[in-house]
Structure 1
Amino acid sequence: MKLTTARVLAQYRGLWLVAAPDREPELVTARGKLPVTPVTGDFVGLDEAGSIAEVMPRHGVIVRRAPGEAADGQVLAVNVDLALVTEPLPDPNERRLERFAALAGSGDVPVALVLTKSDLDEDGYMKAAQLGRTLGVIDSVAVSVRTGEGIDVVRGLLDPGATTVLLGASGTGKSTLINTLLGEERQKTGEIRADGRGRHTTVTRELLTLPGGAFLIDTPGIRIAGLWDGAGDTFADVEELALGCRFSDCGHTTEPGCAVRAALPPERIEAWRKLQEELASIDDRRAKSRR
């Protein structure tokens, strides 16, 4: 049977909005129970009736641990080539940035940081540069949709035909940034509270086409970036420095001759340790669920 290739633009309960060449976007159903549930960003095969009959092989899969105690993963986006992680100035949460970077890194997806609301912080550029070096991402930029600062830099990261996912907590300026990149008021934006934080606005993951041909997946604000499978290269500095420790089983706590403690700030080491503990807990729950 000949299938028509389409891409999933959005996922709803039992329905998918898909786009195929030379056809208007349409809502479709799946043909029976598929081995893999289609998600935003998937390439799928449509049968003659217009139903999803196949999910094509994926790359760049970003999975977080599902909320709750179950050892399950929740797929956030697939076929992703770059992750933009947003965090607002003037007080960016470095630990949260680390977790989102690790989330993308676990799917082998390169990461760039976008520090929004730079008009509220005259030191935003320096903070972006420092965080970029600390987290080892491919780029880090301070932006303001009000002044236009950094917007062209972000546009330069979005290659035609490539797919970028926007990750961040609620109120970090994702929807406003998307409207600026689109050049139109497409995404609703939440009102800003007195403390400068926005409200959650995006309700479903949606794939958008930007001027110039790049694709962008918007995601609802993620409260907890629970890791599912490793941390990628987010803590490559810790792993590399650990090779120089005096003891091969060094825990980077009080051991003499620890190269990690000698080179990195305690906060960075503690963030690495917490992620290792979380991943060990996930592995333990997986093992128990298989019994």
Structure 2
Amino acid sequence: MPHLRIASVNVNGIRAAARNGMSGWLDAADIDILTLQEVRGQDEHLEAALPGWSIVHDEATAKGRAGVAIASRTPALESRTTFGADDFDSKGRWIEGDFLIGDRPLTVVSAYVHSGEADTPKQDEKWKFLDAFGIRLAELSHDGALALVTGDLNVGHREFDIKNWRGNRKKAGFLPRERSYFDRFLGDAGAEVTGVDGTIGTGLGWVDVGRRFHGEVDGPYTWWSMRGQAFDNDTGWRIDYHLATPPLAERAQDYRVARAASYAERWSDHAPVIVDYTY
């Protein structure tokens, strides 16, 4: 059965990733659509790192920060970067591209959620982003649409998603309020959902493709701290996602995290997440 292979990765700087081996990985991976986060560069840097690809890119307001892009073997039919309220700076953190999967339209998103910092203005920006995220998810999932949000979402939803979850309960990335957003995003559509922080909201019905494939197990992790031997010990976080509308999730096949064979072979501190979607 034909498939569309979609990969997502936080490159931690496109120029550094290209220098450190991304191109070799990409040559072997046979990807159709590649979503990137933390590009930290300009269009010319993406074009140099991804020759022959069609690219849509949204730079961050501050040079050398954030940045999201979608690279594809065939050009996107349309792309958008509008996200959130007018007074909220989301540049470099959300880009949508429209494609076809078979004869049906598919919207693919590359998203980079703020890392945040508990009880600081950085966390306030993260709350604003997550609020806008929920609104846009509801819009994208209307009428059985095929839509996929990929990227570094900087939240470990469940205890399975962080190796050292007990030590991170008061830190950004695993705060109960952050996790409750994901409870609602992934709760049954239209159902009353009680989040881990005790708040009540309406489920949006999206599917965490990685968790659906791997079930109730630790990981597989997608990011490891540079400190200590986190990578070697697989003391990681699962914060890079494919979130799909139910009709697209039904088409998902062969979900995998492309974890490097060794620390020395990594070209980013994140591992690519790859899924084949049949059509």
TM-score (norm 2): 0.29
The structure where strand makes up a greater share of residues is: 2
Instruction: Choose 1 or 2 for highest CA Rg.
Output: 1
